[in-house]
Structure 1
Amino acid sequence: MTDTQAPDSTGTNPLAPAPEGARTAADVVTPELVAQLTKGVVGSGRTANHTPFTGEKLADLPESTPEDVLQAFESARTAQAVWERTPVRQRAAVLLRFHDLVLERQAEVLDLIQLETGKARLHAHEEVQAVAVAARHYGRKAPAYLRPKRHTGAVPTLTKVTELRHPRGVVGQIAPWNYPLELSVGDALPAFVAGNAVVMKPDTETCLTALWARDLLIEAGLPEGVFQVVLGEGPVVGPEVVKHADYVSFTGSTRTGREVAQGAAARLVGVSLELGGKNAMLVLDDADIEKAAAGAVRACFSSAGQLCISIERLYVHESVADAFLERFAARTRAMRLGNSLAYGADMGSLVGERQLKTVERHVEEAVTKGAKLITGGVARPDIGPYFFEPTILDGVEDSMAVCEEETFGPVVSIYRFSSEDEAVERANATPYGLNSSVWTKNARRGREVAARLRTGTVNVNEGYAPAYGSVQSPMGGMKDSGLGRRHGSEGILKYTEAQTVAQQRLLPMAPSLGMDDEGYARFMSTSLRLMKAFRFR
């Protein structure tokens, strides 16, 4: 597998050929590796996955039936009953060992991520970073998040109250294809350390990465039965996972997320959803234009734009718009496209034909209706079947699909604004609310504008990484971008059931010591007034 020199129609320069002896898909995905990784998959049928770099088949895989999914849940329940009795510090130690193993053996999983998603190696490394950070955080903080908590009781000193946290049982997780390490095992880590088992359905096309992570977790000490994997078509296997789960974690499209939520609601089980986004970046009139242009490349084109929190709408103050666009376009034209299993490429491939067709449709329709193509706009089959150049559009109107629909590709639209209020209003004028970005030299102004944006995360002077990487803080979407949060206390407590244990001492919560009903009522009324006066909470 090499990077291929090709005609430079827009100034985008693919990498020079990779050195001789570069690894190929056959070198990485060997029959022995596939056998090792798939031995834990519950599946009686057969399916396969493919690499976007060439379109060739990577591996033959087991495919799960509804009966297989039921079997996976039954096995997980048996294992979970033992796992939840394991002390939380021992469960947390598994995550810390996993952290070390991921970093030690990252070259293995970087190859798999690249082969399965088509992304550049540096973008694949973002997943390694994110999983290591999550493993470290919950490995260190889980005992504190989960420990019993004392609360003030109904009557101070007489009522002793403790809040306990119990695992939900077996979590059903449906993971997407775009971040096959971080959005599979990265989300499962807090569920495991909270005492749950997980039945995961990763996307079949990117399942080897998730299976590699499962193998590594078992090596780190996770009991095999606690982590079950099922594979198959989403419309077939996905509803079966929802049908049997005690809690559902889903990352994917808003349309499918609604279906998952309805299935969970019918069974009265909890659900967390991270869904789509049409994320905005605001470049204010006092922004550092050079830094903003460099940041926009990262924000818009990481993983070829196939990232829920990447930027697709770019609002630039009219006083700096031309200068910004000149610098942004120059940096975009200089990007290197590549398909080798090595560092150096600035952007990789789209994941498959459906994504490519969506990107082509959005760009072609916008240009046909009058938008101006600043750079990019063409597929690059000379590099690989699903490569598409990073693309900037100017003059996009509201009636164009690229303005309203999530593209999920390397395409960004430029919009000019004249006032801060206008920029905020236009950025918020979308059903989505996942991520946004603000660029300004004034830190206070950046925070104030950020607080006005209706998105679950906002990054000041960066695109998405600071908020996502700050794992002590919650991350998720508002509006049509989802329910619930990952990371921080919410990211682990959602996998638990809260239980309040209240122990009454000395006196009952009823008339006593010779009091009649009226006397008891007067006594309690006086007590309530005193508790307010003494600022009891």
Structure 2
Amino acid sequence: MTVSETGSASLDIATEDERIAGLVDLVTVADSTTETIPVEAPFDGERIGAIPACGEADVELAVERAREAQRSWAERDIAEREEVLSRFQDLVLDRRKELLDIIQLETGKARRTAFEEVQVVALTAGYYSHRGERFLGREKRKGVMPVLTDVEVNHVPVGVAGLISPWNYPFELALSDALPALLAGNAVVIKPAEQTSFIALKGKQLLEEAGLPADLFQIVTGTGPDIGPTLTETVDYVGFTGSTATGRIVAEQAGRNLKKCSLELGGKNPALVFPDADLDRTVEGMVQGAFSNTGQLCIAIERCYVHEDIFDEFVDRFVAATEELELGATYDFKPGVGSLVSEEQLEKVTAHVEDAKASGATVHVGGEARPDLGPYFFEPTVLTDVDLDMDLCCEETFGPVVSIYPFSTTEEAVEEANDTDYGLNASVWTSDTEFGRDVARRIRAGTVNVNEAYGATYASIDAPMGGMKDSGIGRRHGKEGLLKYTESQNVAVQKGQGMAPPDGVPFWLYAKLTSGALRLFDKVPGLR
């Protein structure tokens, strides 16, 4: 693995400090809030600023302001809401350098991965800005009595959506979830991860510049245990992206308060490589799928199952490609791998690898921290001989670590892929795409890619994305990702005869005639 040269690819920290300090003013705080939480840059561990440590009063104030603003926003034409998203897309693309700088400063990720965030937010804004009327407009449905019963379905905004977003993709997972909620006529209150709140605040600033009413999009900063419960209790909808353990807590709180919720949680994602796979393409895609964002990606590949006929060749090629990855703490597009986000994350990744090594796993490349690059760097790591007794085998590592296993039959591969409590993402690698589709349908995961690691499903915004099993409930993207922020309302207009027997008709005769009509309706095309 090579190390990137810093050269001119550094950031003017003084300028960034100024920029970031101004964003703090966008946090919703009550007069009594004075405590702050320091924020550091993972590249060097240095403090870059501080955010307010919000409490219950701040959350209640944010929700109150959002609820007031939502009433008039919901009355606006859908086309007006679409225009805000369209202008926001332009601003995201125009200001991408500034956005990339802030994302890297807060997360320590490689700039290539930061660009993925900007790209997906722009894609999401563009997608929904053209589909509001199509997805939210009144839908005609069949009435119980043809001609006499007119039925329509309206999609009514839930009110205030509360979103709890993570640190690994802080711009994308805050804004991409907020955009459809806003288009649906809701207000949004976001609690971003305390490590990465500044980029969410920058998103708020751009939305308001695009024409979004100021109070409609509120941000409260602080820790989950301090303000998460209050947020869940006071909003009308809860969206959470993060660990399965925390997701269970959020789901319990939402359920106790009878709030709708969606949860995108952890994954221990498998890849299945069949003997006819194009190994050049597969290795390239798998390296991206395993080590993008230094493996801190819920849909990243952590388990790789390779057919025994090509196992040795694949391992050799995959290890060689991993060795070529460039690590670096720079603000240019040269490095492919950046830093982990924190000491806590470094400790978890290190513990998984050390446990595997002590229990007999073979490390082919990597396996060590790199303090020479920065306090939280860890080498991309490839292991074999990993078994069920190792933490690495079954627990989500959320770092640049992948384990490779041989298989002999398709049935065995599918069984191994499904042998997990998680079901978020998977990939299948084969030259026979119809065979790949068939295998994909047998894998219990919310998204399955054929000859791609995760980008094909995730970037196809028109299709829903989410998890099965312990990987969550609900979906983002597509029509489903918009309508989840609404309540379906059935409105029926009855003309002429009502739903009871006409005057003077005995009920026995009414029942007989109605039964006959039901039989007729079922047999006549167009009336069913």
Letter in 2 for 1:168: V
Aligned residue number for residue 26 of structure 1: 14
1:518 partnered with 2:505: no
Equivalent positions of 1:49-448 (< 5 A) are 49-448=39-438
CA distance in 2, matches of 1:158, 1:76: 41
Contact 1:83 1:196 in 2 (8 A): yes
Secondary structure of 1:458 counterpart: strand
Secondary structure of 1:350 counterpart: coil
Contact 1:176 1:252 in 2 (8 A): yes
Contact 1:38 1:61 in 2 (8 A): no
Q: Deviations 1:429-461 (Å, cap 9, x if unpaired)?
A: 000000000000011011111000000000100
Q: Deviations 1:393-449 (Å, cap 9, x if unpaired)?
A: 011001100001000000000000001110000000000000000000011011111
CA distance in 1, matches of 2:26, 2:466: 34
Secondary structure of 1:438 counterpart: strand
Structure 1 unaligned blocks of 5 or more? 1-11
Contact 1:197 1:226 in 2 (8 A): yes
1:496 partnered with 2:486: yes
Secondary structure of 1:255 counterpart: helix
CA distance in 2, matches of 1:355, 1:291: 30
Tell me the CA shift for residue 534 of structure 1. Answer: 1.0
Contact 1:304 1:347 in 2 (8 A): yes
**% identity of equivalent residues:** 50
CA distance in 1, matches of 2:472, 2:46: 34
Structure 2 unaligned blocks of 5 or more? none
Contact 1:42 1:228 in 2 (8 A): no
Normalised by the length of structure 1, the TM-score is: 0.96
Normalised by the length of structure 2, the TM-score is: 0.98
CA distance in 2, matches of 1:35, 1:336: 34
Contact 1:356 1:388 in 2 (8 A): yes
Contact 2:24 2:51 in 1 (8 A): no
1:17 partnered with 2:6: yes
1:41 partnered with 2:4: no
Q: Deviations 1:144-198 (Å, cap 9, x if unpaired)?
A: 1000000000111111001001100001110000001110011100000000001
CA distance in 2, matches of 1:342, 1:80: 40
More deviation, 330-339/40-49 = 40-49
Number of equivalent positions: 524
CA distance in 1, matches of 2:25, 2:261: 28
CA distance in 2, matches of 1:178, 1:145: 30
Tell me the CA shift for residue 29 of structure 1. Answer: 2.8
Tell me the CA shift for residue 236 of structure 1. Answer: 0.8
Letter in 2 for 1:217: L
Contact 1:42 1:229 in 2 (8 A): no
Contact 1:242 1:260 in 2 (8 A): yes
**Pair 276,36 (structure 1): closer, same or farther in 2 beyond 3 Å:** closer
Tell me the CA shift for residue 17 of structure 1. Answer: 3.2
Tell me the CA shift for residue 234 of structure 1. Answer: 1.0
Letter in 2 for 1:148: R
Letter in 2 for 1:107: K
Letter in 1 for 2:302: E
CA distance in 2, matches of 1:330, 1:512: 82
CA distance in 1, matches of 2:7, 2:161: 43
Secondary structure of 1:164 counterpart: strand
Letter in 1 for 2:300: S
Contact 1:37 1:212 in 2 (8 A): no
